[in-house]
Amino acid sequence: MLVAVIGPFNWLVTAESGSVEEATQGKLAEFLAVVPVILLITWATRRSRQLLYLQRGLPKRWLIFGLGSFSIAAIVISGVALASGISSETLIPASPWILAFAALNAFMEELWSRGIFLRSYAAGMGGVAAVLVTAVIFGLAHVQATYLSAGEYLGFTSLVVVLGIVMAWAMRWADTIWGAVLFHMGLDLVVALELLEVL
């Protein structure tokens, strides 16, 4: 948290953050302030990366769940963008930036919201309680998302709690973070619609 507050990577963030490229640069700065710190602390305390679900897990489960859900989301989001008037000439060059934004955010939030807590919470309070607690915390962390109007907070937070349950379940079911990261990437493609001014 201290690294995130000090913001040593804030030089990556431009003054304006309206474009996909600028949003991705901002997300990279946030990622660099959070993920290496978590990994360094895990390594320094001689804890296994398995504690964070950073392992191969059960590929047949997480690949099907993760790639399937991401593919469906990508097709739907692309269709919505094109149907709303975004041209393929705009969407195709923006796609690498959109994918980078989604990947950085998904991995960071899965590691931060579930990876470091889920296994230890499950050991102390049981799997179901751990899934619910991490999902509620994840939902509360999104209460004031910048892309919402004031009247949308409760419904959006409830939806994020449900999605948090799905991602925590996926992590425990496949014994790895990767299926949840891919699912989360698919969800984060919706943010691309806002960046492309579709929403």
Q: Where do the H-state alpha helices sit in the chain?
A: 2-6, 20-44, 59-83, 88-110, 118-125, 127-141, 153-174, 178-195
For residues 10 and 54, which has the higher predicted lDDT (pLDDT)? 54
pTM: 0.91
103-122: average pLDDT: 96
Mean pLDDT of the chain: 89
Q: Tell whether the model's pLDDT for residue 180 goes beyond 80.
A: yes
**Confidence (pLDDT) at 26:** 87
Tokens of 105: 């955010």
The domain locations on the chain are 54-195
Residue 45 has pLDDT above 90, yes or no: yes
19: Cα within 13 Å, side-chain hemisphere: 13
Long-range contacts of 80-89 (CB under 8 A, 24+ apart): 80/193, 80/198, 81/192, 81/193, 81/196, 81/198, 84/193, 84/198, 86/196, 86/198
Q: Which residues contact 56 (CB under 8 A, 6 or more apart)?
A: 176
Residue 48 one-letter amino acid:
S
Phi, psi of 63 (to 5 degrees): -65, -45
Q: Which residues lie below 8 Å from residue 111, measured CB to CB, with a gap of 6+?
A: 34, 35, 38, 52, 54, 177
Q: What is the pLDDT of residue 152?
A: 76
CB contact at 8 A, 115 and 138: no
Show the tokens assigned to 140. 């509360």
How confident is residue 18, by pLDDT bands cut at 50, 70 and 90? confident
pLDDT value at position 154? 82
**Sequence-distant (≥ 6) Cβ neighbours of residue 186 within 8 angstroms:** 69, 70, 71, 72, 73, 74, 102
Q: How confident is the model at residue 3 (pLDDT cuts 50, 70, 90)?
A: low
